[in-house]
Each structure stands twice: as C-alpha cells, then as structure tokens.
Amino acid sequence: MRQPRGPAGRCYLSLVNTTVPDPRLLGRAVRRIVYTKEQLAQRVHELGVEITGAYPDDELLVLGLLKGSFIFLSDLVREIGRPLQVDFLVASSYGDSTVSSGNVRLLYDPETELEGKHILLVEDIVDTGRTLSRLMDLLRARNPHSLEICALLHKHVATELRYPARFIGFDAPNEFLVGYGLDHAENFRHIPYIASLQ
C-alpha cells in the first residue's frame, strides 16, 4: 500500500502508521529519519553487551558528557550487566565565538574520584573531535586505571581527535542530526529517533 504523503519536506509519523506531522519538530522540515527508535534500541543493547564483556572486575565509572549524552547514557547503562557508577561532566568551549577553539572548561566536574578507576566517557556524537581531545587530556591527568570513549555516533571527519573511540554505535553521515539527545538550538533532544534536518 502506498504511504500517504504530505507537503514536501514535512516529517510524518509514518513509523507509527499515522499521517499526523510530528508535533515535536516545531514545523521544521526533516530530510530523513536516519536511525529509528528500534534501530537505536538494538544498537544500544549490543553496545551494552560489548562493554559488559570488555571490562575486568575493577571499578567502572561511566561519565556522561552533558547535555547531548543524557538519553543515550541512560539507555546504555541499563544494558551493562556489571557493577558501575554514573557521573556527568559539563564542558564549555571558549575562545573563538564561531569556530570551536578546542579550549575546554569544566562547568561541572564529577564528584567521584577518578584515580584508579576504569573511566568510560560517553559522548553523543564525535564531529571535529576537538572537545573530546581536550577533555581526555584533562581526565587523563587524574590517573584513571583506563580511559576510553564510547560515542553513539561518529562522523569520521575528525581531524583533531587524538584519542580514538573504543565503542561506536553508528558511523554517522556528515549531516546535521537531531533527536535522542542531539539538539539544534536546544530543541529536539526528546525526539525518540534521530533525523537529519533540511
């Protein structure tokens, strides 16, 4: 059966079999849905299994980089079948106003001691890799037992990422993506799928 179609560029909730435009999108046009809710759940489950098997018996601290990782992290930790602790980082770039300078300041520093623990830094998406490289330098100076990156999405365009991500959800297209924690001007983080905006 042919899918009913609406005005060009409008995203319709065809996934739940309705022609009502998604009211969460503020009327914005969507190019395409890149990862459905079901694809995200399946991949996050697989990552959880992978992470569970990757760590020995020492302490594991899962550190979420806010705000973008908040939905991914909350789903991910529930798929990890071993003891762990959760904390967050809030980082802010400063310097040049239009281009990320790579200078990073911590607005919220984890309260948990990092020394001697396995640290898994959870990021929503790796783009240029600048933020992550600076953060990894800061965290490494605190003598963790190990320090690894888990990124839901990786655009593989990073020229400045000195630390490769050990766990990657998807190799993402080089488009601007929203949903599942990813925002555009603070909107669309709560959309349960990931879409590319026009």
Residues 34-73 that bind ligand IMP (CB under 6 A): 68
Q: Can you tell me the distance from the alpha carbon of 140 to that of 87, in angstroms, rounded to the nearest whole number? A: 16
Contact between 131 and ligand IMP (CB under 6 A)?
yes
Residue nearest to ligand IMP (CB): 128
94 or 176, CB closer to ligand IMP?
176
Tell which positions 138-177 bind ligand IMP, by CB under 6 A: 176-177
Which segments within the chain are labelled E, that is strand? 30-35, 60-66, 85-94, 103-108, 118-126, 146-154, 167-171, 177-178, 194-197
127 catalytic residue (yes or no): yes
Would you count residue 104 as binding ligand IMP (CB under 6 A)? no
Q: Which is nearer to Mg ion, 79 or 183 (CB)?
A: 183
Per-residue x/- mask for Mg ion, residues 148 to 187, rule CB under 5 A?
Answer: -----------------------------------x----
Handedness of CA 4, 10, 12, 15 (dihedral sign): positive
What residues contact 6, with CB distance under 8 A and at least 6 apart? 12, 19, 21
Give the residue among 111, 101, 121 at the shortest CA–CA distance from 51. 121
CA distance 145 to 75: 25
**Spatial separation of the C-alpha atoms in residues 72 and 79, rounded to whole Å:** 11
Task: Read off the tokens for 180.
Answer: 């599942």
The reply on whether position 129 binds ligand IMP by CB under 6 A is: yes
Q: How far is the CB of 93 from Mg ion (least distance, A)?
A: 10
Interface residue with ligand IMP among 128, 138, 145, 163 (CB under 6 A) is 128
Give contact residues for ligand IMP (rule: CB under 6 A): 68, 100, 123-132, 176-177, 182
Q: Tell me which residues are annotated as active site.
A: 127
